[in-house]
Structure 1
């Protein structure tokens, strides 16, 4: 009885392509680190969004805009619940060269 190789070959090619993509992404990742100062700054944020342009950062030919946001919610249901705490800080600096 002949063995149908076409379906096996298609499966092997697809699996190999996925494995190759995962290998390339894993190779490109850089190990991260946790900065406690950044963690403390994110914990100190108030809830909501804020956007401001500090006057002391407006140097000649440069502007800076800072943004911050925090979202805290607690979701509960019959079996328990989870707390969601998402916070971020951002800076956009534009300079003329």
Structure 2
């Protein structure tokens, strides 16, 4: 007597198709991203940003900087991880 495999195989096939589609899209995106370069001038500028939030408004644009530096320690004597997140933002409004 043969076992009906259609009810069992349908969820497996849909799951494989779903994850296969996501994997293929991820692969295509990864292939299209160019390899980044390190610009030492930009690294130096990011290192000079003060901690906290600053903003400056000029006639046509607003410049803002933000820096968040924290050390997270796992346990009292465990390894530590330093998080240093810096953003430079420029928003420019122009009449066209």
> Is TM (by shorter chain) over 0.5?
yes
Point out the structure with the larger strand share.
Answer: 1
Displacement of 1:2: 4.7
Distance 1:80 1:86 in 2: 20
Displacement of 1:23: 2.5
What are the ranges of 5 or more consecutive residues in structure 2 without an aligned counterpart?
A: none
What RMSD, in angstroms, separates the aligned Cα atoms of the two structures? 2.0
Distance 2:40 2:4 in 1: 59
Q: What TM-score results when the alignment is normalised by the length of structure 1? A: 0.76
What are the ranges of 5 or more consecutive residues in structure 1 without an aligned counterpart?
A: none
Q: Deviations over 1:27-81 (max 9, x none)?
A: 4423322211111011011111000014xxx3xxxx1110001111112233221
Q: Specify the alignment match of 1:13 in structure 2.
A: 17
